[in-house]
Amino acid sequence: MSILINKKNKVIVQGLTGKEGLFHTEQMISYGTTIVGGVTPGKGGTSSLNIPIFNTVEEAINNTGADVSVIFVPPAFASDAILESIYANIKLIVCITEGIPVSDMVIVKEFLKKEKKSTLIGPNCPGIISPKESKVGIMPNSIFNRKGKIGIISRSGTLTYEAADQIVKFGYGISTAVGIGGDTIIGMNIKDIMNLFLEDIETKCIIMIGEIGGKLEIEAAEWIKMKKNKKKPIIGFIAGTTAPKGKTMGHAGAIVEKKIETAQAKMDILKKNGIHVVQSPEDIGITVHELLGSI
């Protein structure tokens, strides 16, 4: 069973007519995602890839019944695109855009809390993919080709793909992989996604891929230890073994402000809270096999 998305979802693409939007829309359609419309202000009434283009999200919803939106809009306009989808009560919003100003995301975050009808993944994320169901984002189709019982939560796009590849090589499949994004302010966090996987009866093991900087992994680990119904093994990996304090390494959210936010400190906390920590993404597949055997 998948979380967040499935084959029944109807997806609109904000920014479909741009270069990135066009390319990844083709890839999503090829994967089996139901794309019902695109949104590009000023181009309403036209079509692209045989998909109708609308001027606004509200117009797209009224004409297609869409419940999911994926955003490929330039950074300067991406927060407005997110706000438009929230205002239109889109159930799930996935923002791929990198480089949105933090001040813009502060406004988005407050609006999300106030409206409470929309869920945001990202920004600066690879999106969500559920094999044999749907893809909303930019994950490579070829890697996520086997449906199964392993859930993936990741702050890193590339390491999401590596983890999936290692899992598939050992004969397992993915229930859903969620890239939550690497920015300082994001929508759903690690704990939010982990809770969905714990409630999903078909997900038997959870992979958590974190990074240096911030406390998302720590908060999730401490929360999971207190969960009385936690019966699923969790495998953790923290990317970025070294980084100077206050230095950005890769993502905007990967800034080490305190010693507790370093890779080693996080790994120690994860272990202390019962998470199986691996030293390399290459160890993920074999660790899944050791914990679960044949499922």
Q: pLDDT band at 1, cuts 50/70/90?
A: low
CA distances from 123 to 18, 135, 148, 233 (A): 18, 16, 27, 28
Residue 254 is predicted with a pLDDT of: 47
Is residue 224 within 8 Å of 187, Cβ to Cβ? no
Domain ranges of the chain: 11-121, 142-292
Residue range 110-122: average pLDDT? 94
Distance CA 14, CA 32 (A): 19
Residue 187 is predicted with a pLDDT of: 97
Tens of pLDDT along 239-288? 975 444 444 445 544 444 555 678 889 999 999 999 999 999 999 999 99
Is residue 128 within 8 Å of 5, Cβ to Cβ? yes
The percentage of the chain sitting over the pLDDT mark of 70, rounded to a whole number, equals 91
**Structure token digits, residue 11:** 């997806």
Order of strands across the sheet with 205-211? 134-137, 127-130, 174-179, 147-154, 205-211, 234-239, 276-277
> Identical fold at 11-121 and 142-292?
yes
Q: Out of 67-71, 225-229, 291-295, which region has the weakest mean confidence (pLDDT)?
A: 291-295
Tens of pLDDT along 142-181? 999 999 999 999 999 999 999 999 999 999 999 999 999 9
Residue 231 is predicted with a pLDDT of: 80
Look up the CATH superfamily of 142-292. Answer: Succinyl-CoA synthetase domains (3.40.50.261)
CB count within 10 Å of CB 44 equals 15
DSSP letters of 44-84?
TT-EETTEEEESSHHHHHHHH---EEEE---HHHHHHHHHH
Q: Which CATH number fits domain 11-121: 3.40.605.10, 3.40.47.10, 3.40.50.720, 3.20.20.70?
A: 3.40.50.720
Residue 73 is predicted with a pLDDT of: 97
Q: pLDDT band at 238, cuts 50/70/90?
A: very high
Distance CA 26, CA 30 (A): 6
Active site residue 289: no
- Torsion sign across C-alpha atoms 23, 193, 156, 130: negative
Residue 258 is predicted with a pLDDT of: 54
Q: What mean pLDDT is reported for the chain?
A: 92
The H-or-E segment that residue 108 falls in is helix 102-115
Residue 214 is predicted with a pLDDT of: 86
Record the pTM. Answer: 0.92
Phi, psi at 97, each rounded to 5°: -50, 135
Nearest to 102 by CA among 251, 266, 260: 251
25 vs 239, residue with greater confidence: 25
